[in-house]
Structure 1
Amino acid sequence: MIIEPRMRGFICLTAHPAGCAQNVVNQINYVKAQGPVEGPKRVLVIGASTGFGLSSRITSAFGANAATIGVFFEKAPQEGKTATPGWYNTAAFQDEAEKAGLYAKSINGDAFSDEIKQQTIALIKQDLGQVDLVVYSLASPVRTNPRTGVTHRSVLKPIGATYTNKTVDFHTGVVSEISIEPCNEEDIKNTVAVMGGEDWDMWMDAMMEAGVLAENALTVAYSYIGPVLTEPVYRKGTIGAAKDNLEATAFTISDKLKSLNGRAIVSVNKALVTQASSAIPVIPLYISLLYKIMKEKEIHEGCIEQMYRLFNDRLYNGSTIPTDEKGRIRVDDWEMRTDVQDEVDALWTKATTETLPEIGDLKGYKSDFLSLFGFGVDGVEYGTEVNELVPIKGLQ
């Protein structure tokens, strides 16, 4: 079939298998060009099919020559209907891993469930024995707690007061004002239940009990802080409450891992175009301005650049892992530089529908967004027939 992007709000309803595959190959080539990482050899990535999770898996496999197991929840393709991008990303990753002689297997299912946890543990026991690194990179808006059976849904709301600021429709380029009503206590509880650290803790408990964590095992989860500009809707909003919980959970897990000389840690990453960030008002405008500045300063990074730097410079640098006063790794350090944020603040006051094409990088934002779904990727022949029914090798 000929596949074109079909948009609905901040979601693209189609994905291009060849474009997704090329994205994966590009990331692999980047890692190879940087050189080997003295990293882990047996890795589990929970949330392995897109974004930071996918880049973590690529860095582990093609940087550290690691055996990897990836867990994710993606829709398979059907006749005349494309899969979700993460399906095609994983299919391409599996193909490239096979060519490179690397162990790689994948599990498609609800990572929040006990069933998928036990299936994953059984696969580790069968094939790898134990793992050295567990990457926790889930980004779902909904979670059913396997203990209670309650389904929780996260919300993007400020806490305490209505938040009003600028935003941009990245499809049209129209800058407008938006107001977001504050949440209630139930909203906070639900968002923490979905995006906080409870499920990460459950994964690590199950793996500890099963004996599939190696001596000195490390587990890392991903977070974001962002600038004062976005605080009300992000870090001091419902999502921020969930991130606070996630970061606190790292210390709880670390205490449990002491018997293995293991450690849990949170990496605070840079703002990037993702399906999740595109849904948060204010963030697309902030990223458009941020990208313009960071590209001009030649310090812009995408997912793979971030993850390679995290693995090579922080997690596996041959010495102590550098952290901030709250015990977090900061690979958002370039984004949060004073000179960068001062320039974002100055541009923010000037941002209008008319000025944004010049002062921001909305074009880069749109390009990155389409690329998430395999569209607009250099070297791909769009407008020609492709097979949407792509299988994933190594799928359990």
Structure 2
Amino acid sequence: MIVEPKIRGFICTTSHPIGCAKNVAEQIAYVKSKPAIDGTKKALIIGSSTGYGLATRIAAAFGCGAATIGVAYERPAQLKRTATAGWYNTAAFQKQALDDGLYAKSIMGDAFSKETKDKTIELIKRDLGSVDLVVYSLAAPRRTVDSGKTYSSVIKPIGKAYTGKTIDMNTHKLSTATVEPATEEEIEGTIKVMGGEDWRLWIEALKGAGVLAQGAITLAYSYIGPEITHAIYADGTIGMAKKDLEKTAKDITDLLAPINGKAYVSVNKAVVTQASSAIPAVPLYTSILFKVMKKLGIHEGCIEQMYRMFAEKLYVPKTIVDESGRIRLDDFELRDDVQKEVSRIWNSVNDSNLEEVADVRGYWDDFYRLFGFGIDGVNYEADVDIETEIPGLV
């Protein structure tokens, strides 16, 4: 069938198998063009199918030559409904890794569940014995805990409503959006879903099963952002969850002390994600940021950041962290010259100069690329087989 992007609100309901494969191939080619990294040899990536998790797995496999196990929750094609982009991404990664002689297996399941944890541990024991890197890169709207209760995450301010300008994703015009403050239940739910509890449960399970190597490292990803977005992000419900994540990193480091292990939170740069498109202020801020950083030649996507993290921050004689013990990949984004220019543009942007001062096209290009669309060299008018098998799927 011919696959076209179908946008509903902030969601793309289709994905292109050839485009997703090309997107993965380009990320692999980027890593292969860089010097090899003396880093992880056996890595577990929890949330491995898109965004930072996928980029981490690519950097580990093709940058470090690591054996990798990926855990994701994706859906295959059904009748005339395409698979999710993460399914196609995983298939493309697995094929290339196996073609290159690298160990690569994937588990499709709810990473929050004990069943998936147990299945992953069994696979590690059988095939690898242990892992020296565990990356926790989940971004989920809800989580069902072992008791059966389901929690949902929300992106809302705390204490008072937030009103700010943003880009209307349908008209590409500036608009004003208001978000009411979160309830206590919503704050609790967001921390349960996006905080550190499940990360700690994974590490406890892995350590208890004896499948963490001596000196094992574990990472979780976060975002802080500039003052412009703090009310809706860093000081909102997501910010509360990320603070819990940082506290958990300290707890996990204590837990790993007997094996000389360490837990880090990596604070990454703003990138386009499906979730971020729905956050007021973020699409506009990101579009302006892209314009500024591209002009300065310091713009990075997920793969550039993950390679840089491994090569320049993590796998160096002494891990590079800030005063709070966090790895900072938002260092370019938060440079004084970058934020000064972003603030200047933010205060002067209007409908007539929006396309000139903000990289709206670049934002949308990145959004479509998430689903395999708008990628050079792909014939989107051709019939494609939407049913794709994942080699090495457990």
Shared fold (TM-score, shorter chain, > 0.5): yes
1:80 Cα deviation (Å)?
Answer: 1.4
Of 326, 329, 332, the residue aligned with 1:328 is 326
The corresponding residue for 2:378 is 380
Q: Deviations over 1:114-142 (max 9, x none)?
A: 00000000000000000000010000010
How far is 1:173 from its partner?
1.1
Q: Determine the structure 1 residue equivalent to 2:186.
A: 187
Aligned partner of 1:349 among 347, 350, 365:
347
Is 1:108 equivalent to 2:108 in the alignment?
Answer: yes
Equivalent residue, structure 2, for 1:256: 255
- State the partner residue of 2:363: 365
Q: Whole-Å Cα distance in 2 between the matches of residues 47 and 157 of structure 1?
A: 24
Distance, in Å, in 1 between the alignment partners of 2:170 and 2:352 is 15
Aligned match of 2:80:
80
Equivalent pair of 1:79/1:388 in contact (CA under 8 Å): no
For 2:299, the aligned partner's letter is H
What residue identity is the alignment partner of 1:183? Answer: A
Shift of 1:355: 1.3
One-letter identity of the residue aligned with 1:283: V
2 CA distance for matches of 1:215 and 1:171? 51
| Distance in structure 1 (CA, Å) of the matches to 2:53 and 2:135 | 7
SS state of the match for residue 368, structure 2?
helix
Other structure's SS at 1:340 match: helix
The reply on whether 1:134 has 2:109 as its aligned counterpart is no
Counterpart of 1:309? 308
For the residues of structure 2 that align with 1:353 and 1:372, how far apart are their CA atoms?
A: 27
CA distance in 1: counterparts of 2:276 and 2:78, whole angstroms: 28
Cα distance per residue 1:166-212 (max 9 Å; x no partner): 01023421101111111121111000000000000000000010000
In structure 2, the residue corresponding to 1:34 is in which secondary structure?
coil
- Indicate the residue corresponding to 2:291 in structure 1: 292
Gaps of 5+ in 1: none
1:178 aligns with 2:177: yes
Q: Deviation at 1:278?
A: 1.3
User: What TM-score results when the alignment is normalised by the length of structure 1?
Assistant: 0.99
Once the two structures are overlaid, the 10-residue window that deviates more, 74-83 or 84-93, is 74-83
Deviates more, 1:177-186 or 1:84-93: 177-186
CA contact (8 A) 1:167 1:176 kept: yes
The range that moved more, 52-61 or 76-85, is 76-85
> Helix, strand or coil: the match of 2:214?
strand
Distance in 2, Cα, partners of 1:170 & 1:54: 26
Q: CA deviation at 1:113?
A: 0.1
Worse overlay, 320-329 or 38-47:
320-329
In 2, are the aligned partners of 1:170 and 1:362 still within 8 Å (CA)? no
The residue identity in structure 2 corresponding to 1:63 is: G
Range with greater deviation from structure 2 (302-311 or 345-354):
345-354
- Aligned equivalent of 2:232: 233
What is the TM-score with the length of structure 2 in the denominator? 0.99
Question: Structure 1, residues 278-307: CA drift from partner, whole Å, max 9, x if none?
Answer: 121110000000000000000000000000
The separation in 1 between residues aligned to 2:304 and 2:364, in whole angstroms, is 19
Paired with 1:121 and 1:259, the residues of 2 have a C-alpha distance of 20
Q: How much has 1:351 moved relative to structure 2?
A: 1.6
The one-letter code matched in structure 2 to 1:360 is A
Task: Give identity over the alignment, percent.
Answer: 58
CA distance in 2, matches of 1:342, 1:166: 18
2:157 counterpart of 1:158? yes
Contact 1:154 1:187 in 2 (8 A): yes
Q: What is the CA–CA distance in structure 2 between the aligned matches of 1:75 and 1:110, rounded to whole Å?
A: 12
For 1:388 and 1:357, the matched residues in 2 are separated by 35
**Partner residue of 2:273?**
274
Equivalent position amino acid for 1:203 in 2: W
Secondary structure class of the residue paired with 1:218: strand
RMSD between aligned residues: 0.7
Q: Is the 1:271–1:287 contact (alpha carbons within 8 Å) kept by the matching residues of 2?
A: yes
Q: For residues 223-248 of structure 1, give each alpha carbon's deviation from its aligned partner in whole angstroms, at most 9, with x where no partner exists.
A: 00000000000000000000000111
TM-aligned CA deviation for residue 258 of structure 1: 0.4
Q: Is the partner of 1:300 in helix, strand or coil?
A: coil
> Given residue 338 of structure 1, which amino acid in structure 2 is its aligned partner?
D
User: What is residue 242 of structure 2 aligned with on the other side?
Assistant: 243
Distance 1:103 1:24 in 2: 17
Deviation at 1:353, TM superposition (A): 2.1
